[in-house]
A and B are shown apart, each in its own frame.
Chain A
Amino acid sequence: MTLSYILTILVSGLKLGAIYAIVAIGYSIVYGILRLINFAHGDIMTVGIYIILVLMNRAGLPIYVSILASVAISVFVGLLIERLAYRPLRDATEETTLISSLAVSALLQNILLLCFGAQRQPFMLPGFLTQGHTIGSVNFTNINIITFIITAIFLVALFLLLSKTKIGIAMRACSENMKAARLMGISVNKVVMVAFAIGSGMAVIAGFLLAGEYKTVYPSLGFVPGLKAFCAAVIGGIGSLGGAVAGAFIIGVTEILFAGLMPTSYTAYRDAFVFLLMVVVLLFRPNGLFGSTKGERS
């Protein structure tokens, strides 16, 4: 086991972490405002990937156009789900909305199954994106660099939105005290829709990066990465965006280190390992690493 091998898997770990971070932020924003654990979030990702595939392969659109169109369509799907499945349950308990989100997740997976079948379909990135480089003794590809750049742009954009713009500050206000936010004239529906739009749009980009990594797509593809992103948000302290990002990188890196350093007979347990990691963190820090101890909303 050479240093260059370790550095190379470290790069893939950071890349996976960057993708999880994009998904985890979506979970966290929505949870912060609605106290809704949206288990369908990972499946929006899958929907987005299939739309990209259809637009590219059947409609013959260029890849970048397909991605942007898929973002737009998936944002619409995300808003539709919010309107139909979650808004009617606005005053219900957390458990109720959680079950509703599991139902939406199953529904989306089955719609995809119906439309595209259960078999895996190849998902190949264009050659340019997979072109490899070696710096010193570390191997990485263009898509690695692009992943880091995209994640960085998303994080900066989100930070600016939440700290500088009126709607962004209103989102933070809502997540702290929804009643008081309504007394300011803030429309909770609008804030929730912005949260879902951001989450769904970013999930599609994450889905594209993830499918490029797996080189394939199938109807349940997004579910497990979605769960891991959820773990990331929980490890970081759910509702805390910085925590979600930190949690995502922790999970991405440890997952890849586990897969890369353990004997191959154990690598099948990498998903289980991630969930175990979450349980262990929660044993010692019940509110996550960066979660506040008084996270309840007044």
Chain B
Amino acid sequence: MLKIQDLVVKYGGITAVDGISLEIGQGETVALIGANGAGKSTTLQAVSSLVKIASGKIFFEGKDITKAGADAIVKMGLVHVPEGRQIFTRLSVEDNLRMGAYLSKDKKRDEKNREWVMDLFPILRERARQVAGTLSGGEQQMLAIGRALMSNPKMLLLDEPSMGLSPIITQQVFQVLRKLKEEGITIFLIEQNAYDALEISERAYIMESGRITLSDRSDVLISDERVKDAYLGGAV
């Protein structure tokens, strides 16, 4: 469904992503794990056209989206939930959701999606008229995911959805991700929280300093000594 070929991204002189290739099939949940600064967020930003690509190609459902604009990519059903939530703090919860459906012209479908999102995250229904900046961290993450769902995505790019959340809220968020998985949405998940990420995903890629150093089935990686030492704190 998503295919990245020899992707290179540079910030001035720094090479943040150094020639990575990966492929994600329809309906799969795939994790991308790596230390701070490995280039994970940059990879997602390259896919959704937020940063310039130095070289390489990106395909979504067989179509070359390397040069596509951010809006064209959303329209195709590939939606990015960015690191740090990036909700619109000065807009109401409702207006945030409305922006998620910005490109949609189908009011009925928007309404259905709104109900679906509010059923997934009942707290958003309660807070619908509240200014989003007043939500708690967990609620903001739910809003960020809910906002992305408003456009009826086929595939979600999730950048550290558990960042800064308590273990209980993290489990709630992962619970919702499992539901989305069951609904057939393809998920590409970045996580620092490697254990949860490996548990929810079928496959995973390990990224270090801009390169993919390891990739395998998640159940294999979860018991791999190298992964245990580096990302699971040896504790599992």
Contacts and interface: CB of A to CB of B under 8 A. Distances in A.
A187 interface: yes
Chain A facing B: main interface SS? helix
Interface of B: 48-50, 69-71, 74-75, 79-80, 82, 86-91, 95, 98-100, 102-103, 147, 151
A172 B50 contact: no
Chain A CB within 10 Å, residue with most, of B82, B95, B147: B95
A186 B71 contact: yes
Contacts of B48: 183
A225 B78 CA distance: 48
A177 B86 contact: yes
A181 B99 contact: yes
Chain B facing A: main interface SS? loop
Given A169-B98, A185-B103, A180 B74 contact: no
A183 B80 contact: yes
Contacts, number: 63
B50 A184 contact: no
Contact of B88 (A166, A172, A185): A172
Given A176-B89, A180-B88, A186 B82 contact: no
B71 A187 contact: yes
Given A173-B91, A176-B88, A183 B98 contact: no
A120 interface: no
13 contacts: A169-B95, A169-B99, A172-B91, A176-B88, A179-B50, A179-B86, A180-B86, A182-B71, A183-B86, A184-B151, A185-B70, A185-B151, A187-B71
A169 B91 CA distance: 8
Contact of A173 (B49, B50, B99): B99
A166 B74 contact: no
Contacts of B75: 185
A184 B102 contact: yes
Contacts of A264: none
Contacts of B102: 166, 170, 184-186
Contact of A183 (B82, B89, B90, B95): B82
A293 interface: no
Contact of B90 (A170, A176, A187): A176
A265 interface: no
Nearest to B150: A184
Nearest to B98: A169
Interface string A263-298: 000000000000000000000000000000000001
Interface in A142-186: 166, 169-170, 172-173, 176-177, 179-186
